[in-house]
Amino acid sequence: MALIITDECINCDVCEPECPNGAITQGDEIYEIEPGLCTECVGHYDTSQCVEVCPVDCILKYLEHEESYETLHAKYLKITGESD
């Protein structure tokens, strides 16, 4: 996973419907990103849609678990059932 939602999340609900993979869900305290479903919108859009719509900029790259474009694209292919 290369994106994480920080504690600054205000639970505004604008990010969840923007995720094409359904990777964002309401957690106990704040919204959370499911690492196995997050592709940073690779395969769908040029930019991460959740980051684009977040009004408090609380969705950041999780540098400790950064994934390459190739890894994210492979995950996109697996999730969607598409092939190259």
pLDDT 10s digits, 27-48: 999 999 999 999 999 999 999 9
Structure tokens at 80: 């969607």
User: Cα(39)–Cα(73) distance, rounded to whole angstroms?
Assistant: 7
For the domain that residue 47 is a member of, what is the CATH number? 3.30.70.20
- Domain coverage including residue 50: 3-80
Q: What is the pLDDT of residue 56?
A: 97
In this structure, what is the dihedral angle of CA atoms 30, 34, 39, 45, given to the nearest 10 degrees? -40
Alpha helices in 1-84 (DSSP H): 49-53, 69-80
Judge whether residue 82 has pLDDT over 90: no
Instruction: Count structural domains, the chain.
Output: 1
Judge whether residue 83 has pLDDT over 80: no
The amino acid at residue 83 is: S
- This prediction has a pTM of 0.89
Judge whether residue 78 has pLDDT over 90: yes
